[in-house]
Amino acid sequence: MSHASYELKAEARERVGKGSSRELRRNGFIPAVIYGDKQSPISIALNTNEVTKRIHAGGFMTTVATIEVNGEKIQVLPKDYQLDPVRDFTMHIDFLRVSADSEVTVDVPVHFVNEEKSGIKIGGVLNIVRHTVEMLVPANDIPEFITVDLDGFKIGDSIHISNVTLPKGAKPTITDRDFTVATIVAPAVGVSEEEEETAAPTE
């Protein structure tokens, strides 16, 4: 389930350049550009408050938005945004134009379930190799996360991408090998027996 799509109203920018970008930001707008889909890029200005709300709501980079410019509605996916390093303020956004059948590359977060049914229950430690997996996905159906089911994995096991049920239509961009997402490793040695007893209460 991905975040619900949303719409942003934008104004086309005639003047482009450092001076006009600064002026825009002073007036509460963020300069942005829409590119891709074999069309020439469009420079736009977006309302700072609306965009900041969207970024803070989460899922910004994996949610397709509709931007209305001069009465034309354009479907886009945010590809990149720059923050002012000092004030945590959005300086600029790049949007990629998408259509219903476009495929896009996104980093999808990995969630782990059923830890209590794996070697972690007896003291194994989950070592996450990839917190996100770069996937090629349909633009109109971007998964919010990938779920890795740890049920049955023991200490010493590696969980590879082939062990994971991937969302419909999603393909990892790494195709030449069955890469590791996580491993379950033995607990670190050097824990005294007393500490072990408090750490793992007997059931």
Domain membership flag for residue 203: no
Whole-structure pTM value: 0.68
Same domain, 71 and 151: no
Check if the beta carbon of residue 46 is closer than 8 Å to that of residue 10. Answer: yes
Q: What is the 3-state secondary structure (H, E, C) of 62-113?
A: HCCEEEEECCEEEEEEEEEEEEECCCCEEEEEEEEECCCCCEEEEEEEEEEE
Same domain, 160 and 84: no
Confidence of residue 3 (pLDDT cuts 50, 70, 90): low
Tell me the residue type at 60. F
DSSP secondary structure letter of residue 6: E
Same domain, 175 and 155: yes
Same domain, 58 and 142: no
Confidence of residue 20 (pLDDT cuts 50, 70, 90): confident
Same domain, 111 and 175: yes
CATH number, domain of 181, equals: 2.170.120.20
Same domain, 66 and 142: no
pLDDT in the model for residue 89: 79
Residues spanned by the domain of 159: 104-198
Tell me the residue type at 71. G
CATH number, domain of 43, equals: 2.40.240.10
Domain membership flag for residue 25: yes
Domain membership flag for residue 1: no
Number of domains in the chain: 2
Same domain, 92 and 151: no
Supply the mean pLDDT for the chain.
Answer: 88
Confidence of residue 39 (pLDDT cuts 50, 70, 90): confident
Same domain, 146 and 185: yes
CA 50 remoteness from chain centre = 20
Q: Where does a domain end: 55, 74, 99?
A: 99
Domain membership flag for residue 154: yes
| Higher pLDDT among residues 184 and 85, named by residue | 184
Q: Is residue 27 predicted with pLDDT exceeding 60?
A: yes
